[in-house]
């Protein structure tokens, strides 16, 4: 009985350890804007409907909590510039930097930013016009 419990724990830890994005450049994102707008891509044919989204400041304080909509999209409240840790229940977490420098660089183009949260905690950044 103990051996089977240890095997389950070991296999579970391998699954968690292997779930991180294999590309280190896609484990975090920098965006402009006043809020984090994101979309959790369907994984294994399942949308991330009504998943809890939490955003923590660099000091570890909870800065936002909300849920994705039925398609897996979310938008945080307005947040100050800085570094954040974003977690989505059932998906994982990533680091996000809100930078007004990006707004200055691309702001004249009317750019809006969004995160695409993909398999294995990989993150992509989308850019679009306002």
pLDDT at 69: 97
Mean pLDDT value across the chain? 81
Say whether pLDDT at 26 is over 70: yes
pLDDT at 10: 34
Alpha-carbon separation of residue 79 from 13, 42, 47 (angstroms): 34, 26, 26
Say whether pLDDT at 50 is over 90: yes
Comparing CA positions, the residue from 69, 65, 85 lying closest to residue 77 is 65
pLDDT digits (tens, 9 = 90+) for 54-64: 999 999 999 99
Model pTM?
0.77
Say whether pLDDT at 100 is over 50: yes
User: What domains appear along the chain, each with residue ranges and CATH number?
Assistant: 22-129 (2.60.40.10)
């Amino acid at each position: 009985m103990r051996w089977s419990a240890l095997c389950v724990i070991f296999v579970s830890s391998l699954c968690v350890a292997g779930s991180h994005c294999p590309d280190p450049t896609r484990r975090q994102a920098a965006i402009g804007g006043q809020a984090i707008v994101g979309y959790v891509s369907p994984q294994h044919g399942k949308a991330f409907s009504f998943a809890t989204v939490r955003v923590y400041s660099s000091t570890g304080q909870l800065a936002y909590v909300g849920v994705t909509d039925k398609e897996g999209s979310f938008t945080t409240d307005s947040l100050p510039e800085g570094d954040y840790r974003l977690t989505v229940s059932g998906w994982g977490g990533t680091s996000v930097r809100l930078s007004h420098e990006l707004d200055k660089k691309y702001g004249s183009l009317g750019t809006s930013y969004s995160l695409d949260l993909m398999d294995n905690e990989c993150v992509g950044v989308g850019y679009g016009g306002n």
